[in-house]
Chain A
Amino acid sequence: MTSPSPRQETHRPEVEALINLWKDRPGNLIMALHEIEKSLGYVPRDISQQLARGLNVPLAQIYEVLTFYNYFRLTPPAKNKIQVCMGTACYIKGSGDILETLKAQLGVQEGEITPDGAFEIENVRCIGCCGLSPVIKVGEKVYGKVKPDDVTAILSNYSA
């Protein structure tokens, strides 16, 4: 019996296409990572490895970039990502209280995923809807002028 070598790496054809698209364009790494993040919601290690080979950059350089920027994540996201805006306008209008209410209702801290995988909470810096502050975003939907009391109703729009 042959055990799979630990260095054996998966090979995804869709990533190959992406590599070919960006291969010869300068400054491609971040753009390629954005495309992966967009389709999968995170950047898995095996894809980073494939990308490293395809673009001919060290894996360390890919991780250097992945861990520097807030936008990229290394683990799968929850089904519904809740972003609480902590921009200044939202903050002074009480987005901190909304964050606390969410944490209490879902029983998780920022960055954690609920046991059923349905929700995770993230605090973000200004999503640029300051006129509607305080704002939270669930998936792609933005809710403006949110009060802590609205949290239950908003969450009920989403399921596990």
Chain B
Amino acid sequence: MQEEWIKVCMSSGGVAAGSEDVMAAVEDELAQRSLAVKALRKMGCIGCCHADPVVEVKPKGGKPTIYERVTPEQAREIVAQHFQGGQALESSTPTDEMFPHQVRIALRNCGIVDPECIDDYIAHDGYSGLRHLLADAGPAGVIEEMRLSGLRGRGGAGFPTWVKWNFANKKQADVKYMICNGDEGDPGAYMDRSIMESDPHGVVEGMILAGFAVGARQGYFYIRAEYPLAIERVQKAIDAARSYGFLGERILGTEFSYDLEIRLGAGAFVCGEETALIASIEGKRGTPRPRPPYPTDCGLWGHPTVINNVETLSNVTAILQRGGAWYGSIGTPESTGTKVFALTGKVKNSGLIEIPMGTTLREIVFDIGGGPISAKPFMAVQTGGPSGGLITKEHLDTPLTYENLQKLGSIMGSGGMIVIDEGDCVVDLAKFYIGFCAEESCGKCAPCRVGGKRMQEILEAISEGRAQMSDLDKLKKLAHAMQKASLCGLGQTAPNPVLSTIRQYAEEYRQHIEDRTCRARRCVALVKYQMELKKQKAAAAPAGAAS
């Protein structure tokens, strides 16, 4: 570890907030003062995304300090104070409150290592156990560690990772494939983007180990085309790993040969479904097919294929560095380890956080997130994106696990966590999600293609004051039909936010339909209607009656 350093957040969020100008100012100031701070570095996302651009400084012998919302002028001042004055600025760092509750495993290197430098990754224990695992432990040893860890797929479904690997490993086949799903399409979740941008080697290493365990010779990164920085950095990481002998023929002198390539997504939410994703890599429309056969039996080009998501693979690397038992001891017995959430919406500290399973929502929203951002009271948290549901304030103290979320009618999903307050309307939110799913339906099966559209129409009618109470029954019937009859996960889960809001906020639905009012004043047609009604009443009242 260097004695002194200065790091500027250069993730997509940081760059969007102006960190390139900040970086330039730091470089210029260091040059002008002839200061030789060796470790001026680009860093990935430390998770305090609301505070971007973030600058972290550590002077010789001192403690690191995080500065938030740094302007180029402030950056110059920070350099001057720290490296010549030897003093921290007065700048407070409220983002510090985001860290004490976190346990960073998948995000362990984010904001720590330089994502474009393999040597830096290696200096942080990267690729450290690779030779031993490939040469001594063997696929069975790797899978056994994964079993001990209890890791479940972090893409959303929560299927035990080791079971999937074991299926593929046991399958007799000459050709097998490994795929990393980096096509994060969930609106409101961006952990995969951040991990690929901030710690690409952590995922590449996970891909190597997974490929070894299942017996693949070729692996693919399937990444959203909308994530250019992630694509660039993963490509750099693959090239660097190959030049160091971690990829290619006879890796590190073992019998294992394996290589990685990137394939781009093209903007289709349904490609998160594994069979659709496979079709897309094959160069076709991303439409799913019924399972079984599962991809571990018959996947890419008909060969056994394992698909894991970015966060899962980042965890894999950490688990195989530190042992499955270590990981299994974190979290709860059924939901081990940690989960990364994109905490956003109406919350003060929004960003990426990683917490042990079993942490309560209250700790997340109030301790880490700092509570609601406005004066309006907290209302609920939406988890699991378009496939999830709302968790209301009565359930703030429920420990977060796969099982508990399901019991509450929501899901873990990929980890979007959107805080809503009383300024938000649940009907509007339900309409938003079903609209998303209707638009993203691939159209292959009727329950999803037609059901989503009809549900959207009914919700529009409710939010425009054109519905009757009987429409709620229709909505529920459609929802259940879609859940039962849709071909893939997109259609099966699309009704979840609608059912969840109807169940938990029945009174709001009634107000929309019978009283034609929207408490949050988000449904524009109803707001206009109420104003009109008021005007009419005022006009009808006899002159002078009010006084």
List chain A positions with a Cβ less than 8 A from chain B.
26-31, 33-34, 61, 64-65, 68-72, 86-89, 91-93, 124-133, 135, 142-144
29 contacts between A and B (CB under 8 A): A26-B283, A27-B263, A28-B283, A30-B264, A30-B280, A31-B264, A65-B283, A68-B286, A69-B286, A71-B226, A86-B187, A87-B187, A88-B188, A88-B382, A88-B418, A89-B187, A91-B432, A92-B345, A92-B429, A126-B189, A127-B226, A128-B184, A128-B194, A130-B350, A131-B351, A132-B13, A132-B50, A133-B350, A144-B17
Contact, CB under 8 Å: B16 / A26: no
Contact, CB under 8 Å: B16 / A132: yes
The distance from the CB of A153 to the nearest CB of chain B, in whole angstroms, is: 15
Contact, CB under 8 Å: A88 / B385: yes
Contact, CB under 8 Å: B226 / A65: no
From B187, B267, B416, B429, A71 is in contact (CB under 8 Å) with B267
Contacts A88-B345, A132-B50, A144-B13 known; 4 new A-B pairs at CB < 8 A:
A71-B265, A125-B436, A126-B185, A128-B12
Contact, CB under 8 Å: A130 / B190: yes
Interface SS of A by simple majority: mixed
Contact, CB under 8 Å: B190 / A129: yes
Contact, CB under 8 Å: B346 / A70: no
The distance from the CB of B66 to the nearest CB of chain A, in whole angstroms, is: 15
Contact, CB under 8 Å: A128 / B193: yes
Contact, CB under 8 Å: B283 / A125: no
Chain B interface category by residue count? 35 or more
CA distance A9 to B182 in the complex (A): 37
- Interfacial chain A residues near B385, Cβ < 8 Å: 88
Q: What is the 8 Å Cβ interface bit string for chain B, positions 88-111, against chain A (1 contact, 0 not)? A: 000000000000000000000000
The distance from the CB of A83 to the nearest CB of chain B, in whole angstroms, is: 9
From B48, B49, B346, A130 is in contact (CB under 8 Å) with B49
The distance from the CB of A89 to the nearest CB of chain B, in whole angstroms, is: 4
Contact, CB under 8 Å: A131 / B285: no
**Most A-side CB within 10 Å, residue of B16, B226, B281, B442:** B16
CA distance A28 to B49 in the complex (A): 36
Closest residue of A by beta carbon distance from B197: A128
A-B contact count (CB 8 A): 135
CA distance A68 to B440 in the complex (A): 10
Contact, CB under 8 Å: A92 / B346: yes
Closest residue of B by beta carbon distance from A34: B264
**Most A-side CB within 10 Å, residue of B185, B187, B268, B281:** B187
- 8 A-B pairs with the lowest CB-CB distances in the bound complex, closest first: A131-B49, A70-B267, A142-B16, A69-B266, A29-B283, A88-B188, A128-B190, A89-B344
Contact, CB under 8 Å: A30 / B345: no
* B424 contacts A by Cβ under 8 Å: yes
CA distance A92 to B344 in the complex (A): 10
Contact, CB under 8 Å: B188 / A131: no
From A28, A34, A65, A132, B225 is in contact (CB under 8 Å) with A34
* B301 contacts A by Cβ under 8 Å: yes
Contact, CB under 8 Å: A133 / B283: no
The distance from the CB of A39 to the nearest CB of chain B, in whole angstroms, is: 14
Contact, CB under 8 Å: A131 / B424: no
* B52 contacts A by Cβ under 8 Å: yes
- Interfacial chain B residues near A124, Cβ < 8 Å: 226
* B5 contacts A by Cβ under 8 Å: no
Closest residue of B by beta carbon distance from A125: B187
From A61, A71, A126, A132, B52 is in contact (CB under 8 Å) with A132
Contact, CB under 8 Å: B344 / A133: yes
* B162 contacts A by Cβ under 8 Å: no
From A61, A65, A131, B350 is in contact (CB under 8 Å) with A131
Closest residue of B by beta carbon distance from A30: B283
The distance from the CB of A5 to the nearest CB of chain B, in whole angstroms, is: 30
CA distance A112 to B32 in the complex (A): 48
